[in-house]
Amino acid sequence: MKKGVMRAGHVQIRVLDMDEAVSHYKQRMGLLETHREGDRVFFKGWTECEKYSVILREADSAGMDFMGFKVDSDARLDELHADLIEHGLEVDELPAGDLPDCGRRMSFLAPTGHRFELYAEKEVTGRHGVGHHNPEAWPEDLVGMKATRFDHCLFHGEDLDGVYDIFVNVLGFWLTEQAMAGEERVAQFFTCSMKEHEIAFIKAEGNTGAFHHASFHLETWQDVLHAADIISMHDISLDIGPTRHGLTHGATIYFFDPSGNRNETFCGGDYFFPDHPVVTWDADKLGKAVFYHSRELNERFLTVTT
Amino acid sequence: MYRIEVEGTGVEFECGPERSLLAGMEAQAKKAIAVGCRGGGCGFCKIRILEGDYDTKKMSVKFVSHSERLDGYALSCRVFPRSDMRVVALEDVEGNKIIDTGIIKL
Ligand code: FES
Ligand SMILES: [Fe+2]
């Protein structure tokens, strides 16, 4: 947190059919529905303190509308607003309440075609079912995969150097991990916390604004297997897993929501402190970097986006 | 059960009305159309329908525009057969573009 950006706070995902999507995110992933307004439904994982982290919007296409990062104070918003403008970006200031129960937001379009935003305030409703005063270990009313929190997103795009500049040099993120094809960085993972990444980008020539996945945290490998069972029991579209990544070393499973947006649930993996060296994977080890066990790249995982 | 023919590939499979063409193909372990998200969002399974009746579920307009729909383009994971059908895949299973053999040329 070099410049006050704390974490990935929310993501708005487009879905083709709201009823199917709500049933997937609520019954299967185990997120909690916390709000509804207009054409949008709001959710959070049970350990999250803010009122929501996932927003679904019914639309004519799948994909991601925007991803928001929480900063540590309102004053910081103005500082970063100025820094983003100085960097040459057009920044829209959206008033408090434009997103329900959320303060003002600074929104900008990154050169990869993805919209990101910063905010400093959102209603804090606390941990679901256990609260913050002599809390029990976990709530007993969870269903499905019991995802604990929205964790990170991965996007595909062309101008990786452009978004590197914004996240590292303007917003104060650290590069934690990268994959290199010779001199060219083809995958980059950024954090602003102790998490291995809050956001990542993969090079995809000519793919603009593409959404690869939104990821949700689970506690254990047993929970990843349990998620895999839920996927089979309910005939959810499986992408790949359960397996482990070389990149980040997380144990993971990927699947698709009913509109074709990719979801990940994962546990474990590396952590980060600012004195950690950047981890680098070479192009000829990409199979292992992506799928640590099969060591084989998979066409669908590498190219399907919404 | 309806008979679905994927033109130019020699692949044929059977598909009931409750199953999408892509799910029908996968259920018989055939490979003629690329399999992506299976949810109408990614465009991987795009086909053009040459013959047959069908219903569709909502498909992402990012991959099938309104005018394309009128020309018989569709995402096969969102197409439910109502008769025997003849379709052409726009990409082969390796993701190479296939030249459209339909009535209206690409
Ligand atoms: S497989 Fe993704 S749109 Fe059909
Ligand atoms: Fe991930």
Query: Residue range B63-81: average pLDDT?
Result: 96
What does the pLDDT look like over A206-240, one tens digit per residue? 899 999 999 999 999 999 999 999 999 999 999 99
Residue B98 has a pLDDT of 54
Residue A39: C-alpha distances to residues A15, A30, A59, A120 (Å)? 11, 21, 9, 24
Question: Does residue B69 have a pLDDT over 90?
Answer: yes
- Work out whether the CA dihedral A215, A1, A273, A158 comes out positive or negative: positive
Residues in chain A, pLDDT under 70: none
The CA-based angle A9-A11-A17, given to 5 degrees, is: 150
In angstroms and rounded to an integer, the radius of gyration of the C-alpha atoms of chain A is: 18
Structure confidence at residue B94 as a pLDDT band (50, 70, 90): low
User: pLDDT value at position B36?
Assistant: 96
ipTM for the predicted complex comes to 0.94
CB contact under 8 A, A306 and B38: no
Contact B59 A304 (CB under 8 A): no
pLDDT of B90 over the 90 cut: no
pLDDT (0 to 100) of residue B106: 29
Supply the pLDDT for residue B99.
46
Burial class (CB in 10 A: 0-12, 13-18, 19+), B84: middle
In the block, tokens 């949810």 appear at: B39
Task: Specify the DSSP class assigned to residue A168.
Answer: I
Per-residue model confidence (pLDDT) at position A283: 86
Burial of A90 (0-12, 13-18, 19+ CB in 10 A): exposed
**What band does B101 get if pLDDT is binned at 50, 70 and 90?**
very low
What pLDDT, in 10s, does the model give residues B21-52? 999 999 999 999 999 999 999 999 999 999 99
- Residues of A taking part in catalysis: 152, 197, 213, 245, 254, 264
Residues from chain B that touch A213, judged by Cβ atoms under 8 A, are none
**Which residue minimizes the CA distance to atom 3 of ligand 1?**
B40
The pLDDT of residue A298 is 86
Give the one of A260, A303, A305 whose C-beta lies nearest to B39's C-beta. Answer: A260
DSSP string for chain B: -EEEEETTTTEEEEE-TTS-HHHHHHHTT--SS----SSSSS-TTEEEEEE--EEE----TTTS-HHHHHTTEEEGGGEEESS-EEEEESB-TTS-B----SSS--
Number of CB atoms found within 10 A of residue A23's CB: 14
Residue from A23, A211, A237 to probe the interface with B (highest B Cβ count within 10 Å): A237
Distance of CA A252 from the midpoint of ligand 2 (Å)? 8
Q: Between A and B, how many CB-CB pairs are < 8 A?
A: 69
Beta-bridge mates of residue A203: A157
- Look at residue A221 and give its three-state secondary structure: helix
What's the pTM? 0.95
